[in-house]
Structure 1
């Protein structure tokens, strides 16, 4: 008979080159606390170190270039100052025995001219404005109309991902997660609701999955497939993401990722991001069967359902998002069966230590 301290959630495993001590991952959480130069706030050192008992921390979405930014005060990984600041974060997590990867982010059309260099328009697969809002110096505003990327600009985007991955390793991260979810740039290329291109990156599913394949291959070639993960969200409506046939689209996307060989993990948001798991019918088991590597499942899991997913072999880890904001010691709370603290929604985005590093742990 197993006790609450030695259930499947608390066993070690391996994600490619990354050894993790339990099956609980901290999902990436945008907190909008970067300082001048899109540099991580020094408070991030304590914030992530407090959560280092997670088997894997997936650090907040971090833009790969100035044009990749979509929200006020989100950090980057393209300048030396950013690399240096992130190095202090990774050192603090490693000092507690934790493992941490960085989520590489280009928002595409989910941005605003006030956030981009020289007030430029956001870039996207097609010049289709999203029905979405972003967070600017004025608060929440409608996103700006994008322009379509020219074909000859796409290699530069891929190179930005490659360089950002190298910078992340230089900053001490154990790997990266390519953000291909939640209606951001790569996801925009995947979906026929945002991609109306007629060149090699649009039209057929094969063409719409091309950028995902090329970015992940470039990152894997730069830092190793075994340190490269990918996040997908097949049926989320986040940021005006939609597709007429998500099942065959994402099955082919996962087949192409599997063909790269040896990726550290795929991380899938099931259902609507932060919302219902059953918003659109989707067969996640079939999707999972198409990938031979480690699988991280996310969205709406509780301790029992998470343990069942691990025990059945469906998933290798379960990622928790919002629960990690108010529960820096989430692993211990789940282990002991202690009630979870509630987050303060007024301190989610921006601000200082309040609602960021001052949530208590069960040990005081």
Structure 2
């Protein structure tokens, strides 16, 4: 039987085990610049088979939260190179999660104080995070404007450029963030996309931007070092689709020829229930559609996993299991899982923003 601790591959990336550190926003990159403490933080967690970084903006427009990192400038590439060097020196593998938040932003975070962008001018009933005078607070998102069709090729180019920057920065690959109510998910789902052009309406149109991004990224750096995160039914960030099963069945078939390294699937509500009664979804059918179309990417599952659930998922055909919040307080989580050791409790007051406390000071096992 496959174990969490068995080695495997995700595309060309060799993994020491099947435990993945999920992306975790920590708001410790002032000016969108990666920092030395970030190198320490990720290197401490290098025993994961794969680290997926915190979500990282592909452009200034793509930012939605204070003090999150970016990957659009030479300075950011140099900053991330220190992070990847530290992780590789500790024996780890690391990919960067490429992010455009779309409407989940605030005027204060946008270039020139402009409105955030979205498929349609529909405000999300959710919060974002701002920091003033060193104090962080969650505030309502700003009213977005609808993207012009002529702007969309530029956003695809931003993803392509960020993917190239990722390789220059020493990452083993990238994960495109297509989940949790951010820009690509906004285009996918009817609750945020009310466009009447060829990027709205029928599911084939709503999937167009995601697929253009994936084709551009894989053409730039290779499918075998490209992952994609999807969340078919999460309500995170005020997102909903009227009929997700056929939508994601179509997406699965279109992704199959791209030779992706992995697909990262959030089951149920992000950080919440694994099953949502009012939003049923057949994940097995989704995976079967992908495999039937010839897709061979490693299948990564995510949401509320502990060791027992993770081993059960592997027995049922998953290849990788992502763990999120447990990695915050347990830099040596793979060892703790292997030894059934107790887990440190995370200090929620330090999750977002701050310094070393609650970031790089959690103890590993002796």
Q: Give me the TM-score of the superposition, normalised by structure 2.
A: 0.95
Residue in 1 aligned with 2:61?
A: 67
Residue in 2 aligned with 1:299?
A: 303
Local SS of the residue matching 1:297: strand
Q: CA deviation at 1:257?
A: 1.0
Local SS of the residue matching 2:56: strand
CA distance in 2, matches of 1:96, 1:136: 33
1:2-151 aligned at under 5 Å gives the runs 8-35=3-30, 37-138=31-132, 139-151=137-149
Kept in 2, the 8 Å contact 1:258–1:290? The answer is no
Q: CA deviation at 1:309?
A: 1.3
Kept in 2, the 8 Å contact 1:268–1:296? The answer is yes
Residue in 1 aligned with 2:193?
A: 195
Residue in 1 aligned with 2:287?
A: 288
Residue in 2 aligned with 1:270?
A: 267
Q: CA deviation at 1:259?
A: 2.9
Residue in 1 aligned with 2:360?
A: 357
Q: Does 1:311 align with 2:297?
A: no
C-alpha RMSD of the superposition: 1.0
CA distance in 2, matches of 1:345, 1:41: 22
1:209-220 aligned at under 5 Å gives the runs 209-220=207-218
Q: CA deviation at 1:163?
A: 0.1
Q: CA deviation at 1:312?
A: 2.8
Residue in 2 aligned with 1:177?
A: 175
Residue in 2 aligned with 1:330?
A: 333
Q: CA deviation at 1:95?
A: 0.7
Which of residues 204, 228, 231 is equivalent to 1:230? Answer: 228
Residue in 2 aligned with 1:239?
A: 237
Q: CA deviation at 1:253?
A: 1.4
Question: What per-residue deviation string (whole Å, max 9, x for no partner) do you get for residues 72-100 of structure 1?
Answer: 00000011111101000001111111100
CA distance in 2, matches of 1:14, 1:89: 22
Q: What 5-or-longer segments of structure 2 have no aligned partner?
A: none
Moved segments of 4+, more than 3 Å: none
Local SS of the residue matching 1:109: coil
Question: What per-residue deviation string (whole Å, max 9, x for no partner) do you get for residues 306-340 of structure 1?
Answer: 01211232x11000000100010000000000011
CA distance in 2, matches of 1:22, 1:362: 19
Say how many residue pairs are matched.
355
Q: CA deviation at 1:137?
A: 2.6
CA distance in 2, matches of 1:23, 1:205: 33
Q: CA deviation at 1:290?
A: 2.3
CA distance in 1, matches of 2:41, 2:32: 17
CA distance in 2, matches of 1:253, 1:79: 31
